[in-house]
Structure 1
Amino acid sequence: MSDITRLNKGPRMSQAVIYNGIVHLSGQVDTNGKTAADQTHAILANIEKLLEDAGSNKSRILQATIWLNNVADFDEMNSVWDAWVDPENPPARACGECKLALDSLKVEILITAAVAA
């Protein structure tokens, strides 16, 4: 039996990998939303589902890395993030601007969380 669990496996990547009590999510994007806020809402909903599937939740997030296609979307993304994040358990977080895989993508979020004990 493997000590590594992979969720939602595809030919290129898994959406989540659990090892040693930690779940590592792949970078999450949304291809439907037109605004940074819309994409952030959809991404965070998907993150909640993946965390639940892995036996975790947003109160157990250890670290978040957020990439923005344009740093001008920082405040818009943060308005959604701030309403969503557990205020009692905010994670370590970094946010920066970078070119994302598709021009239509405005936000990508990478999460690492502890699995519930």
Structure 2
Amino acid sequence: MSVRRLHTEARYSEIVIHNGTVYLAGQLDEGLSAGIEQQTRETLASIDRMLDEAGTDKTRILSVTIYLKDIDADYAGMNAAWDAWVPKGAAPARATVEAKLYAPEVLVEMSVVAALP
């Protein structure tokens, strides 16, 4: 079975497709100047774009791992944006953890696994 890699760089691929499953690298807001709700909305928009390019959509997400810089300060704001975005009846398995992210201005990053139609 073949492996497709999209937007491949030296260290990672943004999208990997194998055996009917789509794996997205950690997605985040590229602007990094906004608060948690806006960064979350931008991250989710990036996920939408990547899934579309891979041939699927958010209704087919199997699992998401969410990394927050400060879970105490940002969990509610992230959830506000998440709840507005996630399709009713199609919420994926999800884990949310606090993590030291690659730059101080990054408040949220998400890694996604989705099924192809």
Shorter-chain TM-score: what band? over 0.9
- 1:53 alignment partner AA: E
- 2:89 alignment partner AA: E
How many correspondences in the alignment? 115
Distance 1:111 1:8 in 2: 16
Q: Which runs of 5+ in 2 are unaligned?
A: none
2:62 corresponding residue in structure 1: 62
Distance 1:13 1:96 in 2: 22
Whether 1:4 and 2:21 are equivalent positions in the alignment is no
Q: Which runs of 5+ in 1 are unaligned?
A: none
Whether 1:38 and 2:38 are equivalent positions in the alignment is yes
Distance 1:63 1:87 in 2: 15
1:49 corresponding residue in structure 2: 49
| CA deviation after TM superposition for structure 1 residue 38, in Å | 1.0
Q: Which secondary structure does the structure 1 equivalent of 2:47 belong to?
A: helix
Deviations 1:53-88 (A, max 9, x none): 111100000000001000110000000000000112
Identity %: 42
TM-score by structure 1 length? Answer: 0.94
Give the root-mean-square deviation of aligned CA atoms.
1.0
1:22 corresponding residue in structure 2: 21
Distance 1:31 1:4 in 2: 27
Distance 1:52 1:73 in 2: 28
- 2:54 alignment partner AA: A
Q: Which runs of 4+ in 1 moved over 4 A?
A: none
| CA deviation after TM superposition for structure 1 residue 31, in Å | 3.5
Distance 1:7 1:82 in 2: 28
2:75 corresponding residue in structure 1: 74
1:110 corresponding residue in structure 2: 111
Q: Which secondary structure does the structure 2 equivalent of 1:27 belong to?
A: strand
